[in-house]
Structure 1
Amino acid sequence: MKTHKLLSIFLLLVAIGTSAQPRFKQKKEQIRALKVAYITDELQLTSDEATKFWPLYYAFDDKQRELKQDKMRSYMNRFESGEVEKMSDKEALNFLNQMESTEDELYQLRKKFIANLKVVLSPIKIIKLKKAEEGFNIKLLKQYRDKGLQRP
């Protein structure tokens, strides 16, 4: 009987997880489309600029997301598990060096991205890109907060 209940619960969780994945992916694609429209509008990209810009941006964004998800998530897991409190100074120094290395990788990735953009966009549009990204993120967070507050 216990195994039957556990199996039922497991199947229910798998079903919920499986049905949530398409919605999550759809939401992610919707946000990406909104971001493309927002940035294109904010930078006033010409069709020629957009054709060259977006493949560079997507490659950068995907690599940045991959770095953050893979490495930063493992760091956060160590924080949340309480592992940090049990580290020796030597282990903590090694962990700190790993964190610095990841931050450096992110910095070098952005630096390379900007160098690639200099061939495609004017310097002012590259600067406006940073502002547009931050503006989009603020707008997205505000919508999320407003939507969350409306729930009963």
Structure 2
Amino acid sequence: MKAIKNIIILLTILLWLTPNKGLAQRDKIDELRSTFIAKHLEFSSAESEKFWPIYNELHDKRKAIKKNLRQSLKNISPTVSDKEAEDIINLENKSAAADAELTKTYNDKLKLVIGAKKLAKLKVVEEEFKLEVLKAAKEK
């Protein structure tokens, strides 16, 4: 259920970001996300200095995984063969596994920097941010 919710959120954000202004919008959203997280987690300067490079690296790797999957999904046509459909399903499974592995690896790294309590709160804050973005998109 959570995966479906995340997919819906992602698709909503992607649809909201039109091609003409998409890059600027994404940059603005990334900036707002950073501000939102920093405000809610109240990092010390030492935590902040170590946290952001790790978090941004994770975010970039996740974007690359999603972009690769999105490009494959765009290639689905009404005449897609069973083999091509299987390949896409396998890619989706590999993408999910890669994302899960990223989560584990980067949770371990981030926990060393900000501690388990702030890491757990980070997950909540990220969800709150997604809801704020959706709310803003609905108001437009």
Q: Name the TM-score, length of structure 2 as normaliser.
A: 0.77
Q: 1:38 aligns with which of 30, 36, 39?
A: 36
1:36-70 CA distance string (max 9 Å, x none): 11101111111111110000010000010011011
**3-state SS in 2 of match to 1:45:** coil
Task: Look up the match of 2:71.
Answer: 74
Q: CA deviation at 1:92?
A: 4.4
Does the C-alpha gap of structure 1 residues 41 and 97 become closer, same or farther in structure 2, counting only changes over 3 Å? Answer: same
C-alpha distance in 2, partners of 1:125/1:93?
A: 40
Alignment match, 2:3: none
| Structure 2 residue 92 is matched with structure 1 residue 99 | yes
Counterpart in the other structure of 2:62? 64
Letter in 2 for 1:55: P
Counterpart in 2 of 1:129? 122
2:113 to 117, 120, 128: 120
Displacement of 1:83 in angstroms is 4.2
The correspondence for 1:141, drawn from 128, 134, 138, is: 134
Rate the CA distance shift 1:76–1:43 in 2: closer, same or farther, 3 A. same
* % same residue: 30
Q: Which protein has the larger Cα radius of gyration, Structure 1 or Structure 2? A: 1
Give the Cα separation in 2 of the matches to 1:38 and 1:98.
Answer: 32
2:132, 2:88 → 1: CA distance?
A: 34
What is the CA RMSD across the aligned residues, in angstroms? 1.9
TM-score (norm 1): 0.71
Shift of 1:76: 1.9
Change (3 A) 1:83 1:64: farther
Q: 1:113 & 1:125 partners in 2: Cα distance?
A: 14
User: Partner residue of 2:50?
Assistant: 52
Count of residue correspondences:
122
- Give how far 1:91 is off: 5.3
